[in-house]
A and B are shown apart, each in its own frame.
Chain A
Amino acid sequence: MTSTSVRRHRATGLVVLLAALVATGVGYAAVTDSAQAAAPQASETQVQAGRQLFLEGCATCHGLAAQGTADGPGLIGVGAASVDFQVTTGRMPLSAPAVQAPRKTPQYSAEQTANLAAYVASLGAGPAIPTDSELATTDANLAEGGELFRTNCAQCHNFAGKGGALSDGKYAPTLMNATPREMVEAMLTGPQNMPNFPNSTLPLEKKQAIVKYISDNLQNAAAPGGLALGSYGPVTEGVFIWTAGIGALLLAAVWIGAKVR
Chain B
Amino acid sequence: MSDNHGTDVSVAEHGDTPEFPLPPHHHRITDTDPKAAKRAERQVAAMFGLSALCTIGFVVAYVAIPTDTFVALGPIGILQLSNLVLGLTFGLAILLIGLGAIQWAKKLMADEEIIGERHPLGSPKEDQDAALAEFQTGLAESGFVERTIVRRTLIGALALFPIPLIVVLKDMGPLPVDALNHTIWRKGSRIVVDVTGKPLRPEDLGIGTLVSASPEDLDKVQEVEGNQNARAKASIILVRMRPSDIKSQQAPAGQTWDYQGILAFSKICTHVGCPIALYQQRQHSLLCPCHQSTFDLADGGKVIFGPAARRMPQLPITIDSEGYLVAQSDFQEPVGPSFWERG
CA distance A221 to B277 in the complex (A): 25
Q: Are B208 and A195 in contact (CB under 8 A)?
A: yes
Chain A nearest CB from B315 CB (Å) reads 17
Chain B nearest CB from A259 CB (Å) reads 9
Q: Are B209 and A197 in contact (CB under 8 A)?
A: yes
Q: Are A155 and B278 in contact (CB under 8 A)?
A: yes
Q: Scan A124-145; emit 1 where CB is below 8 A from any B CB, else 0.
A: 0000000000000000000010
Which residues of chain B have C-beta atoms less than 8 A from A206's C-beta?
Answer: 196
A102 within 8 A of B: no
CB < 8 Å: which of B76, B198, B205, B279 contacts A227?
A: B76
Which residues in chain A, 8-59, are within 8 Å of chain B measured between CB atoms?
Answer: none
Which residues of chain B have C-beta atoms less than 8 A from A201's C-beta?
Answer: 193, 198, 200, 204-205, 209, 211
Q: Are B83 and A200 in contact (CB under 8 A)?
A: no
Query: Which one of A89-97, A114-122, A162-170, A177-185 is at the B interface?
Result: A162-170
Q: Are B78 and A202 in contact (CB under 8 A)?
A: no
The secondary structure that dominates the A interface is: loop
Interface size class of A (residues with CB under 8 A): 35 or more
CB < 8 Å: which of A151, A195, A226, A255 contacts B76?
A: A226
- From known contacts A201-B193, A260-B107, infer whether A193 and B281 are also in contact, taking CB-CB under 8 Å: yes
- From known contacts A167-B280, A260-B28, A260-B107, infer whether A198 and B209 are also in contact, taking CB-CB under 8 Å: yes
Considering only CB atoms, which chain B residue lies closest to A222 in the complex?
B78
Considering only CB atoms, which chain A residue lies closest to B279 in the complex?
A195
Query: Which one of B156-164, B166-174, B286-294, B327-335 is at the A interface?
Result: B286-294
A70 within 8 A of B: no
CA distance A154 to B206 in the complex (A): 22
- From known contacts A193-B283, A196-B209, A198-B206, infer whether A148 and B195 are also in contact, taking CB-CB under 8 Å: yes
Of B206, B278, B292, which is in contact with the most chain A CB atoms at under 10 Å from its CB?
A: B206
- From known contacts A155-B276, A201-B193, A260-B28, infer whether A223 and B212 are also in contact, taking CB-CB under 8 Å: no
- From known contacts A164-B289, A166-B287, A201-B193, infer whether A223 and B78 are also in contact, taking CB-CB under 8 Å: yes
Q: Are B29 and A222 in contact (CB under 8 A)?
A: no
A173 within 8 A of B: no
Q: Are A195 and B210 in contact (CB under 8 A)?
A: yes
Which residues of chain B have C-beta atoms less than 8 A from A244's C-beta?
Answer: none
Chain A nearest CB from B38 CB (Å) reads 16
Name B residues whose Cβ lies closer than 8 Å to a Cβ of A: 26, 28-30, 70, 76-80, 83-84, 87, 102, 106-107, 193-196, 198, 200-201, 203-206, 208-212, 239, 275-283, 285, 287, 289, 292, 294, 305
The 10 closest A-B pairs by CB, nearest first: A195-B210, A200-B204, A224-B80, A222-B78, A193-B280, A223-B77, A195-B281, A155-B277, A260-B106, A193-B282
Of the A-B pairs whose beta carbons lie under 8 Å apart in the complex, a sample of 26, sorted by A's number, is: A155-B276, A167-B287, A170-B280, A190-B208, A192-B282, A193-B280, A194-B281, A195-B281, A196-B210, A198-B206, A201-B193, A201-B200, A203-B196, A203-B198, A221-B78, A222-B79, A222-B80, A223-B79, A224-B70, A225-B83, A226-B76, A226-B79, A226-B84, A227-B77, A260-B106, A261-B26
Beyond contacts A167-B305, A200-B201, A226-B84: 18 other A-B pairs, Cβ-Cβ < 8 A, are: A144-B195, A148-B195, A151-B194, A152-B277, A155-B289, A167-B287, A192-B282, A195-B208, A196-B209, A196-B210, A222-B77, A222-B79, A223-B77, A223-B78, A224-B83, A226-B83, A226-B87, A260-B106
